[in-house]
Amino acid sequence: MCVAVLSSWRLGRKAKANRCEMQRLSRRNRMISLCLAGAILVATSVLPTDSSTTALAQNAKGKTSKKSGKAAAVEENTQEELPELSFGYDVRDIDEYVPDPDETPEGKARIGEVSNRAREIYREYNAVEKERRPLAGPRDILLGEIFQLQTVINESTVLIVQNNAQIASLQRMLGLLNGAELANAKNAISNLQANVANLSGIIRGNNTEIANRQPKLNALNIAIRPLDDRLRKLWEELNACRKQWLELRVPQEKYTRSDFEQLKFVIDDWLRIDGLWPDAFCWGALCAYELGDYEKAAELVEKADKIRTQVLRIKKTWSQVEALQGLVCYQLPGQRGKSAGWIQKSMSHGGKEKEADWVTPFIAARAASEHERYASKAKAYYERALKIKPNCLCAKYGLARLQTTSSDKSVSDLTGGTKLLESIWSRTGKRSWRMSFALVQAYDAAKRKGDAERQWDTTLALAPASQHAELNAKRNQ
């Protein structure tokens, strides 16, 4: 009997808690229409709404909302995710030196055409977005209201199930109770049934509210759809322009031959037109790092990550930018301790990505090669990159530099590293003073004094005058 009384008392407390929860939901439901519009406006005002680049990506990629219950009948504006261009986009594989396409008259003319088309895309976007904005605002508020109404329906449905379970449990106990206990149990059942009735009323009311909003929402979606289709088309055209830029500017080849100043120039030139391409910011960060501007490199990595996650709304991990974080952190005051963690994280994610990714192990190797203690790791990362992309000159050059400069016996290979450097030096046109200096260091380490002296002359002939004093000081050491 004591057990029955205790169970009845507990059920009574649960019924009271459910009544409080039902009242809370009812109050919440009444407040939605008063505060939701303002909340949505506040939330959306956080984004830079005056930036055409931000809205271009958001609208071009489309918005997908979850559907359930009555909300499943709402016609939503959804579009499949757009394909991304890889940071490691493979432009061409050269066996002997050929000029960069942007060094030829034809290439320069094409660069002008591509740049002008990119500008036209952004101008056209502004016109489409101006037409879309008065429709999208009310549509998004309606979607938000329906989402909130459906959330209350879902929560109420859960409470109804819980209350009905308690009612069934109490009804099974009625035959075992008498007197005050029986009266308490019946009173608890009555209260629970009242809760179920009230919650059912909230669900009916919310379903009616959703149904009332659907005609207006569907009309707005019909008006917005062709505008969104046009924005998506513009985004695809912009991606085509980016691909042509990669084919003409060949950033990998400029980076391989250490032509960082020219690479920085072409990246900055493009970003003035197209500030919505994370991969371009990554190239800019890598370039700034090699030029010793570590604060700028960190800033560009952060921009790349924010554009991808906050503007383009891409949720999947990006191991390449994680590796860049590890590379840059190594040189920042107070951040060096975080470098190894970023690299480990990037390699873990890089191994799980669907597409073959040579860039992540390459950048991880570049970071590890900054410290002699991690030379063996750097070698393993370079070899991993080359396993994915056997003819990758970036990785081959990094491995050759490591083999000719490391004191780690498991890494050092003066003969093989020097031959690889000589091969890359020829294949890239014998035009980089930095690569020429790398050969000087390799010849010095191998005690090939005659070759080193001749290479010194070549290095000084190629290097800008601003570098001569530093190079001569090294030569005279």
Q: What is d(CA 322, CA 315) in angstroms, rounded to the nearest whole number?
A: 14
CA dist., res. 67 & res. 74, Å (int): 8
Per-residue pLDDT of the chain (477 residues; tens, 9 = 90+): 333 333 444 444 544 554 455 455 444 444 433 333 333 222 222 223 334 444 555 554 444 344 444 434 333 333 334 444 455 554 455 556 788 999 999 999 999 999 999 999 999 988 999 999 999 999 999 999 999 999 999 999 999 999 999 999 999 988 888 888 998 989 999 999 999 999 999 999 999 999 999 999 999 999 999 999 999 999 999 999 999 999 999 999 999 999 999 999 999 999 999 999 999 999 999 999 999 999 999 999 999 999 999 988 888 888 999 999 999 998 999 888 898 899 988 888 875 544 568 899 999 999 999 989 999 999 999 999 999 989 889 999 999 999 999 999 999 999 999 999 999 999 999 999 999 999 999 999 999 999 999 999 999 999 999 999 999 999 998
Q: What is the pTM of this model?
A: 0.73
Residues 6+ apart with CB under 8 A from 348: 319
What are the CA-CA distances from residue 13 to residues 10, 23, 187, 191, 233 (Å)?
5, 15, 12, 11, 59
DSSP string, 304-361: HHHIIIIIS---S--HHHHHHHHHHHTTSTTTHHHHHHHHHHHHHHHTT-SS---HHH
457: number of Cβ within 10 Å: 12
DSSP characters over 42-90 = HHHTTS-TT-HHHHHHHHHH-------GGGGGS-----PPPPPPPTT--
Please state, in angstroms and rounded to a whole number, the distance separating the CA atoms of residues 315 and 320.
14
CA proximity to 362, closest of 432, 291, 286, 436: 286
Compute the distance between CA of residue 73 and CA of residue 52 in angstroms, rounded to an integer. Answer: 32
Handedness of CA 376, 382, 385, 390 (dihedral sign): negative
C-alpha distances (whole Å) from 53 to each of 57, 59, 231, 275, 312 are: 7, 10, 12, 7, 10
Query: CA-based angle 42:48:50, to the nearest 5?
Result: 110
Q: Is there a contact between 320 and 360 (Cβ–Cβ < 8 Å)?
A: yes
Q: What is the token pair recorded at 197?
A: 């009735």
Enumerate residues 6+ apart whose C-beta is below 8 A from 382: 361, 362, 365, 395, 398, 399, 402
* The pair of three-digit structure tokens given for residue 257, joined into one six-digit string: 């031959």
Report residue 421 CA to chain centroid gap. Answer: 35
**What DSSP letter does each residue of 366-399 carry, written as one string?**
HHHTTSGGGHHHHHHHHHHHHHHSTT-HHHHHHH
Q: Which residues contact 56 (CB under 8 A, 6 or more apart)?
A: 122, 125, 129, 231, 234, 235, 238, 276
Please give the Cα distance from 92 to 249 (Å, whole number).
11
Residue with tokens 């960082």: 260
Q: Which positions ≥6 away from 8 have C-beta within 8 Å?
A: 170, 173, 177, 181, 184, 185, 188
- Is residue 284 within 8 Å of residue 263, measured between CB atoms? no
